[in-house]
Each structure stands twice: as structure tokens, then as C-alpha cells.
A and B are shown apart, each in its own frame.
Chain A
Amino acid sequence: MIRRSKLTLRFAMIAAAFAAQSPLRAQEAMKHDQMMHEEAAKTLYTGKFHGKVHSTEGRATIYEQSGGKFVLRLTNFKTSNGPDVHVILVAIKNADDDVKSDTERIELGKLKGNEGDQNYQIPAGTDLSKFRTVSIYCERFNANFGVAPLEKF
């Protein structure tokens, strides 16, 4: 009987310790978040979208975050909706050059929405001096919806 109550007590203590710790952890995480937010991102490149296959408008901007991470942000963005549409960075000299199947590209992910402000992480080690054009690209039909040539901000 005593042993049993001891065991329950131990469990209770462990549970109490966890309960006490979790809000602390949450607070720490919040503090960390705030710190991340306090350091503003640096604007590196920017450019305006124009339509290719479909009319596309808005602005593409690349920011460098405090940790050295690069983020592509689309603002006032609008294009047509479609199947399997992706955001890619392409290495073409002129933004109006064709994006071919063998064009060097960096995949940034599926287009989150055909309207509105949105962010995409750029993989570490991407040579931004080479990939200077953002393309909204339908992988299914190899259709280049629109492009934004990036220029130094």
C-alpha cells in the first residue's frame, strides 16, 4: 500500500515537473521568435512581374533574413490559376528568353495561391547572381505563366 502511494507520488512529481516546464519552454520559444523578428530582413533584389502565357502582375523581392536565409516574397501578386503551378528561379540572361526543359532552375515550391502576398524559402547555397529571374511555371504543360527579372535593390 505504502509502495503504491510512493509510486503515485513519484508519478505526480514527474507530471508536476513537466507541467511546470512546458510553459517555460513555450516562453523561451516565444522569446526566440521575437528576437528573430526584431532583426529586420535585408532587401537584396526586386523586380516586377509581367505575363508570358497568362497575364501576371505584382512584385518579386528577395530578402536576406538575419540567419543568412534567403526568402522570395511576392506582393500585389496576381496570375491565373492552373494545375501544378510552381515558383522557380531560372538562369536565363533575358527574362523573355524561353524556359526550356534543360534550363537551369531552382525549385522553390508549389504556388501557394494565384493571388496575394506569399513567401518562399530559397535553398541555401543558391547562386543569386546566376538565377536572376523568377518564373511562375506550370510543370504539367511546361507553360511559363509569367516572369519577374530581378535587379539589385
Chain B
Amino acid sequence: MTQRTWLSRNKLTLLLLSLPVLVGAWWAFRPEKLFINQKVSEPAPLAAKSDSQPIYTGKLTGSVHQTTGRATIYKADDGKLTLRLTDFSTSNGPDVHVLLAKSDDATLNQEIVKGALDSVELGSLKGNQGDQNYDVPASANLAQYRAVVIYCERFHAVFGVAKLEQF
């Protein structure tokens, strides 16, 4: 009974005292930020507009043979697509090709592909080491064929795969 009267008597003081606590809590947690987005859009530091820009990239990993490096697809101003391998190293072999395949293709998990591999041909591997470029045909559907495969056509062996992700 007495506490109740004390409470009602000091209502205003309590309210005033709790105000800084509330403000402090708001400042610390900024709960409104949960609903407010802050969007920015700065230009790239590259700037050189004629340059081709990377659009997809991924790291190569070896299956049958140890394969390392990075595969990146660049898009030029005129829309031309180029695959570039950097820091690339794989084992040498007969009739090795560079292909684009579907990244969710389960056959890529096999060391030796049984049957045909659904793929887009980019050409014979130019060298088993070093930086190299391959033209990507304009007809290639990169929305589907999102994996770079180093593939030995003679033995249907998957040397290495790079699953590409948006740059």
C-alpha cells in the first residue's frame, strides 16, 4: 500500500530518470537500423572504361591430376567474353582441352567420365603451366555453363574443375 503511494508520488521523477536510460539504450542499439538500409554505389577504382571487366571467377582444383590456379571470365566493352587462367598449373597430358560445363553436373565428380560430357568447347589447352586466354563463344550460356573443366578428351579424365562465381 505504501509502496503504491510512493510510486504514484514519484511517477514524474521516475519517468524523467528513465529517459536518459531509454536514450542511451536507443543510441547503443539503434533498433531503427534494422529497418533502414543505407545503400551506396561507388564507382570501381579501375575506371579505365575500355578495359574488360571480370564477371566470373573461381579457383581450380584437381581431381585426377593436381591442378591449381584461377579461372576468370572477362567481358570486354563490345560484349566479347574471354576466359583467362592465371597462376595455372596442371599435369601435362595428351589431347587436353578447356571446356565449360554445368557446375551442378554430377559427372564432374567422377575422375573418368563415362559417356559424353555436356560442355562447351573452348579449345586445346595451350600449356600446362602459366597464364593463358581462351575465347568464349558468344553462344555459350554462362547462366548454365558455369564450371571450367580441364579435360583429357582421349581418356575422358577430368584433370581439374573451377566452379565460377560472380565477381
Contacts and interface: CB of A to CB of B under 8 A. Distances in A.
Question: How big is chain A's contact interface, by range?
Answer: 20 to 34
Q: Is the interface of B mostly helix, strand, loop or mixed?
A: mixed
Interface string B97-141: 000000000000000000000000000000000000000000000
Interface string A55-90: 000010101010000010101100011110000000
Contacts of B28: 83, 140
A46 B44 contact: no
A39 interface: yes
A153 B36 contact: no
Question: How big is chain B's contact interface, by range?
Answer: 20 to 34
B42 A119 contact: yes
Contact of B42 (A37, A46, A63, A117): A117
A5 to B, nearest CB: 51
A71 B45 contact: yes
B70 A153 contact: yes
A117 B41 contact: yes
Given A81-B33, A83-B29, A112 B40 contact: yes
A117 B44 contact: yes
Contact of A118 (B40, B48, B87): B40
Contact of B46 (A40, A151, A152): A40
Contacts of B57: 46, 153
A76 B27 CA distance: 29
Contacts of B86: 153
Interface in B30-57: 30, 33-34, 36-48, 51, 54, 57
Contact of B33 (A40, A82, A115): A82
A73 B167 contact: no
B54 A43 contact: yes
Nearest to A80: B34
Interface centre among B36, B42, B57, B59 (most CB of A within 10 A): B42
Contact of B30 (A65, A76, A82, A153): A82
B33 A83 contact: yes
Contacts of A38: 47-48
Contact of A40 (B37, B42, B51, B166): B51
Interface of A: 36-41, 43, 46, 48, 59, 61, 63, 65, 71, 73, 75-76, 80-83, 112-119, 140, 151-153
17 contacts: A36-B47, A38-B47, A39-B48, A41-B44, A41-B45, A63-B46, A73-B44, A81-B37, A83-B28, A83-B30, A83-B33, A115-B38, A117-B41, A117-B43, A119-B44, A153-B57, A153-B70
Given A73-B45, A112-B42, A119-B45, 5 more contacts: A71-B45, A112-B38, A113-B37, A117-B40, A153-B72
